[in-house]
Amino acid sequence: MWSIIDSTLREGEQFINANFSLPQKKEIALMLDNFGVDYIELSNPASSEQSRIDCTAIANLGLGCKTLTHTRCNLEDVRLAIDTGVDGVDLLFGTSKYLRDYAHGKSIDYIIAKAKEVISMAKNAGCEVRFSCEDSFRSDAEDLVRVYRAVDRVGVDRIGIADTVGIAHPQQVSELVSSLRTVVDCDIEVHFHNDTGCAVANAHSAVQAGATHVDTCVLGIGERNGITPLGGFISRMYADDPEAVKMKYNLPMIPHMDHYVANAVDVQVPFNNYLSGYSAFSHKAGMHLKAMLQNSSTYEALNPDDFGVSRVVNVAHRLTGWNAVKSRAEQLGLSLPDQTIREATKSIKAAADVRHITLDEVDLILRDFDTRQMNKRTDEGRLHGSKSDLPTATEC
Ligand SMILES: CC(=O)SCCNC(=O)CCNC(=O)[C@H](O)C(C)(C)COP(=O)(O)OP(=O)(O)OC[C@H]1O[C@@H](n2cnc3c(N)ncnc32)[C@H](O)[C@@H]1OP(=O)(O)O
Ligand SMILES: O=C(O)CCC(=O)C(=O)O
Ligand SMILES: [Zn+2]
């Protein structure tokens, strides 16, 4: 099964609002560990003194998962990384023309030679090592093969394929991952930015094509509009195989982490967020509600119970239907004939056509119909000479 490398404490720290304190980093690391991620990636300790202190503290927390730090491909960064006590280093070098021209000015030959030197040093120090070609999807395919083949031969544990600017689509991902699968023997990690909305689909496509490790962030935070969100990726993989995903991961942690991180970086959880958004498990249309009442899977690919969240059913609007209204009446303990429920539904729709109505108003309409129903029965009883034992509206 694929593994998750959560990068909330590295890529996520590159999100515009992120400025995690050490206690927040520890809390996030503990939550991710409790959820069951395989790896946590931490910011480069070369970034600042506090980054080094934080990296050391998280690496020594005694987590069940492995810790990694993300460094440039040079000996100085890697030495500093090793000293923090992390389990591994994630090295990268930009291979696209943009990055070769504007980020570091190095040739592919230089990149290969440097990568071999740095990987050998880190492996000799007992580190797990990954090497990525940054901006893979704008890099020359032949260059990618040359670099990845060279690092695989020198004993890297994983290669990384990075869609740094979020330009790739699932078919390109599938083609690149499958072709690199035939080039290297080591594991393949993937990293997708979400600029064009493909980050979850690309991660899924990569796994189907043979990728073994997927980078995620809680809520998808990261540079610009971020990367593959942990909740979105898990939802996608759960839809394929719920039992396997439930077995490996503590799913109710996801909404919990989404809210914690949203608060830490001072944003709202988006209304349509996977699993934890305000409307993620809400149901409204009458046709949906009728079917949902019999089997919730009719309109739900994901079972909210598995993620520790509640389904919300809304009957107070003009798109409601008599089956949903009947269900609400039953919740209120009212036993109304179907014809009466249909009439009440019309009243609800008429009211909703002129203003926003609440569930309390739906309940009032239903109780009113119920009262009228009782009065009608009482009147019929009187007409036939036997008094109903039900109270009339005026007696109440
Ligand atoms: C796509 C991504 O998200 S990549 C990861 C991005 N992460 C970060 O940048 C971590 C935070 N960064 C930092 O704190 C700083 O940029 C540091 C500490 C890494 C470097 O800071 P500085 O030494 O001041 O350099 P600066 O950031 O201006 O420029 C980057 C330097 O790294 C070099 N560089 C860029 N990519 C690489 C690489 N993959 N491997 C080795 N060196 C690289 C550049 O050539 C440049 O070197 P220069 O000093 O000769 O100009
Ligand atoms: O190291 C990697 O694989 C990814 C680096 C990164 O954040 C990116 O390229 O967007
Ligand atoms: Zn990134």
77 Cα nearest atom in ligand 1: 19
Domains belonging to the chain, first-starting first, are 3-264 (3.20.20.70), 282-381 (no CATH)
Q: Which residues line ligand 2 (CB under 6 A)?
A: 11, 70, 90, 92, 132, 134, 160, 162, 164, 191, 193
Percent of all residues in the chain with a pLDDT value above 90, rounded to a whole number: 94
Residue 383 has pLDDT above 80, yes or no: no
Q: What is the mean pLDDT of residues 135-139?
A: 98
**Alpha carbon of 10 to ligand 2 centroid (Å):** 10
* Cα–Cα distance measured from residue 197 to residue 163, given in angstroms and rounded to the nearest whole number: 12
48 Cα nearest atom in ligand 1: 14
How is residue 342 written in tokens?
């249909």
Is there an atom of ligand 1 within 6 Å of 96 CB? no
**Alpha carbon of 162 to ligand 2 centroid (Å):** 5
Q: What is the mean pLDDT of residues 160-187?
A: 98
Q: What is the mean pLDDT of residues 69-83?
A: 98
How is residue 53 written in tokens?
């202190």
**Alpha carbon of 389 to ligand 2 centroid (Å):** 76
Percent of all residues in the chain with a pLDDT value above 70, rounded to a whole number: 97
- In this structure, which ligand is nearest to the CA of 111? 1
Mutate to test the pocket of ligand 2, among 69, 137, 214, 215 (most ligand atoms within 8 A of CB): 215
How is residue 115 written in tokens?
């990568």
Beta bridge partners of 251: none
- In this structure, which ligand is nearest to the CA of 13? 1
201-251 residue pLDDT tens: 999 999 999 999 999 999 999 999 999 999 999 999 999 999 999 999 999
5-17 residue pLDDT tens: 999 999 999 999 9
* Cα–Cα distance measured from residue 103 to residue 263, given in angstroms and rounded to the nearest whole number: 33
> Exactly one of 104, 259, 288, 317 is catalytic; which is it?
288
279-335 residue pLDDT tens: 999 999 999 999 999 999 999 999 999 999 999 999 999 999 999 999 999 999 999
Residue 84 has pLDDT above 70, yes or no: yes
* Cα–Cα distance measured from residue 384 to residue 275, given in angstroms and rounded to the nearest whole number: 58
What is the length of the chain? 396
Q: Do the Cβ atoms of 42 and 59 come closer than 8 Å?
A: yes
The whole-number pLDDT of residue 391 equals: 33
Nearest CA to ligand 2 atom 10: 164
How crowded is residue 38: how many other Cβ atoms within 10 Å of its Cβ?
A: 17
Q: Do the Cβ atoms of 62 and 105 come closer than 8 Å?
A: no
Q: 């993300």: which residue's tokens?
A: 70
- In sign, the C-alpha dihedral spanning 369, 374, 376, 377 is positive
* Cα–Cα distance measured from residue 41 to residue 18, given in angstroms and rounded to the nearest whole number: 15
How crowded is residue 235: how many other Cβ atoms within 10 Å of its Cβ?
A: 20
The question of whether 70 is a catalytic residue gets the answer: no
Nearest CA to ligand 1 atom 31: 104
Is there an atom of ligand 1 within 6 Å of 173 CB? no
**Alpha carbon of 342 to ligand 1 centroid (Å):** 68
Question: The whole model's pTM is what?
Answer: 0.94
351-365 residue pLDDT tens: 999 999 999 999 999
